[in-house]
Structure 1
Amino acid sequence: MGKRKRYKNYDNVKNEQSFSDMLRWAKERRQKKKDLSVQLPHSEQKQAEELRENKEAFSLTWIGHATFLIQMDGLNILTDPVWAKRMGVQKRLTEPGLAQEELPEIDIVVISHGHYDHLDFRSIRKLKGEPTFYVPEGLKSAFTRRGYKKVTEANWWDTFEAGGIKLSFVPAQHWTKRTITDTNTSHWGGWIFEDSSGRSVYFVGDTGYFRGFKEIGDEFKVDIVLMPIGAYEPEWFMKVSHINPEDAVKAFLELKGKKFVPMHYGAYRLADDTGPEALDRLLKEWSRLDLDEGMLKVFKLGETYWGDGV
């Protein structure tokens, strides 16, 4: 068996934390007192039936963490579908905004990378429909050995056509690992969807801040940016792989986006920050820069926006 390919970030930036770094973080965590009693709110007006019946209107629904239902040109698209009740030893902090049985039949699933909070096969098995899976290079075999046949691998800057939708896989700064021996043997990145009307949605995935945002903004017209803002604390440990709220705003401005939709906060305790803390820092940075309030769209869990509402 040949040597497995290992994927890299721009400028060979690496996520290299030592055992002593882990011990330092564990010690810091024990000394912190975090209020986990306050969590992100759920929408009081879930529209699951309308979503199941929708065959043509654009809609965007935040289910939680990095999971969105996007409806474009009559297609139902899911990003990083994860309904897991636990992540490692930690219980999920907020219930998903929609239960899996409330979803319509799914046409397309995109995966940003192989970490368990973004790729959960137990959740995938319960999806309705027979979706085509678009996955980073190196992940296809994880699907095919489980019996999935409609799987397409992507490398950075690859573009695909699906039912009138254009999908493009773009860079991110991250890493991946599912077993002891497979570190960085599959790639990571974000997905840009462009529909027949010219509307675009950029699902950033999981990333630290990096120079690729400017490059992506120069290459694509970006309308809606689904941007991670959580799992950044302690920043000396997380900075390479997880963007903080202030840098997320900086990245959004470099992308020249029209709408900022925060994600990747409040569902799992992957780091020391809480969901409300991440959102508070985002709002403060937005205000500090005196940015247009209409360009920031904070979703409640399970909330749906339709058509030109986003």
Structure 2
Amino acid sequence: MRYTNSDPAAVPKTFREVRQWRRQRGGKMKDKDYSYQVPFVDPDLVYLHGNSTEPTLTWVGHSTFFMQLAGLNIITDPIWAEKLAFHRRLTRPGISAADVPPVDVILISHSHYDHLNIASLKQLTGSKVLIVPVGLADKLRRKGFSSIIELDWWQSAEVSGVKFTFVPAQHWTRRTLVDTNSSLWGGFVIECKDAPTVYFAGDSGYFDGFKQIGMRFPDIDVALMPIGAYDPEWFMGPQHVTPEEALKAFRDTGARCFVPMHYGSYKLADDTPREALDRLEAEMNRLRLTAETVRILPHGETWQLKK
């Protein structure tokens, strides 16, 4: 089974296009400034380990968030790898894997190595129910995981009163040369009683699906949106939103608050963390969005969410 996008987008790229990008980036990357690092605050581990009532959100780094909702400990796309594609991690994670409280639910958006990191999954403790895109369950069982729920777009699963709905994204997947798009990709909308509704977008280019998500889920409180790995746009555009497109997608969903992610941890494309933030902040100013609407988190900070 090979999965496709709802829009006829040009992803994945051909090997010819990959070679063209690599030729172009050689000299370009020498002039890039990676001195900026995402700010870090010491995580409140005592609070996180003891909390079972307050909704919280903690940015670990990249697309990894630790959430506490309705008594569940939830983590998205966990990765603690020190290296990715021969590049060292740019900043330390907000919480070490060893310090993460026992995890009840792990959400995997797709199978790319910066979102599905097997070693990181195995470092986590807890019951660890994995909720994954259709096509991934058998691969994870072969890696030793047994508690797996597989979802197609718009399908839902409930764990201890928390509802997880897998929603579309515009992207693609591959882990080997022969498994391109053999599993699906997407994001998750997380709903529960008396707690904020959270939308985790995963990886995506800009597409009309963001409007569909907003129509189906009109009460999203927090949208976790990617802003990095967009440069060069001719190559990355169909699969990764720019910071400006991320804010456009956020407004399409009708969410109340935007939290940026997918920047600052790894060198995945030609943009730097500072470039991504500069473009985001410029677009915030153009749209007159406040810091209460666009919440830029440091690594390790725990934000107590309000409905």
Shorter-chain TM range is over 0.9
- Give the 5 Å matches for 1:194-209: 194-209=191-206
Q: Which residue of 1 aligns with 2:8?
A: 12
Match in the other structure for 2:66 = 69
Alignment partners' CA distance in 2, 1:141 and 1:225: 30
1:70-85 to 2 correspondences below 5 Å = 70-85=67-82
CA RMSD, 1 decimal? 1.2
Query: Which letter does structure 2 place at the counterpart of 1:305?
Result: W
In the other structure, the counterpart of 1:304 is 302
1:291 corresponds, among 289, 304, 307, to 289
8 Å CA contact 1:65, 1:264 repeated in 2: yes
For the residue of structure 1 that corresponds to 2:292, the secondary structure is helix
Residue 114 in structure 1 maps to residue 111 in structure 2: yes
Please name the residue that 1:239 is paired with. Answer: 237
Aligned counterpart, 1:165: 162
Matches of 1:19 and 1:169, distance apart in 2: 30
Cα pair 2:225 2:258 within 8 Å, conserved: yes
Larger deviation, residues 225-234 vs 49-58: 49-58
Match in the other structure for 1:154: 151
Name the structure 1 match of 2:271.
Answer: 273
How far did residue 254 of structure 1 move? 0.7
Q: Secondary structure of the equivalent of 2:19?
A: helix
TM-score, L = length of structure 2: 0.96
Tell me what 2:39 maps to: 41
8 Å Cα contact 2:12/2:172 also seen in 1: no
Deviation at residue 199 of structure 1 after TM alignment:
1.8
Out of 217, 230, 237, the residue aligned to residue 228 of structure 2 is 230
Superposed displacement of residue 291, structure 1: 2.1
Of 18-27 and 169-178, more deviation after overlay is shown by: 18-27
Q: 1:198 Cα shift?
A: 5.0
Distance 1:295 1:178, change over 3 A: same
Structure 1 distance, partners of 2:99, 2:173, is: 30
Larger mean Cα displacement after TM superposition, 139-148 or 209-218: 139-148
* Paired residue type of 1:74: G
Q: Residue 14 of structure 1: CA displacement?
A: 3.2
After TM superposition, the score normalised by the length of structure 1 is 0.95
Which among 6, 18, 22 is matched to residue 18 of structure 2?
22
- The CA deviation string for residues 96-142 of structure 1, in whole angstroms up to 9 with x for no partner, is 11001111100000100000000011011110112110000000011
The Cα offsets for residues 25-51 of structure 1, whole Å up to 9 and x where unpaired, read as 1232122210112211111x4211210
Query: Per the alignment, in what secondary structure is the counterpart of residue 234 of structure 2?
Result: helix
The correspondence of residues 116-155 of structure 1 with structure 2, limited to 5 A, is 116-155=113-152
**In 1: Cα distance, 2:260 partner to 2:305 partner:** 19
Where in structure 2 are there 5+ consecutive unaligned residues?
none
Q: Is the 8 A contact 2:70 2:195 kept in 1?
A: no
Inter-CA distance 266–258: structure 2 relative to 1 (3 Å threshold):
same
**1:184 aligns to 2:181 (yes or no):** yes
Q: CA deviation at 1:160?
A: 1.4
Counterpart AA for 1:30: G
Query: Residues 198 and 56 of structure 1: is their aligned pair in 2 closer, same or farther, counting only changes over 3 Å?
Result: closer
- How many residues are aligned here? 304
* d(CA) in 1 for partners of 2:144, 2:26: 43
Q: What are structure 1's unaligned runs of at least 5 residues?
A: none
* Contact 1:49–1:102 (Cα < 8 Å) also in 2: no
Deviations 1:67-121 (A, max 9, x none): 0000000100000011011111111111111001111100000100000000011
Structure-2 change in CA distance of 1:154 and 1:148 (3 Å): same
> Is the 8 Å Cα contact of residues 134 and 151 (structure 1) preserved in structure 2?
yes
Asked if the contact 1:71/1:77 (under 8 Å) is kept, the reply is yes
How much does 1:247 deviate? 0.5
Paired with 1:279 and 1:119, the residues of 2 have a C-alpha distance of: 25
Moved more, 169-178 or 22-31: 22-31
Aligned partners of 2:290, 2:37: CA distance in 1, in Å? Answer: 26
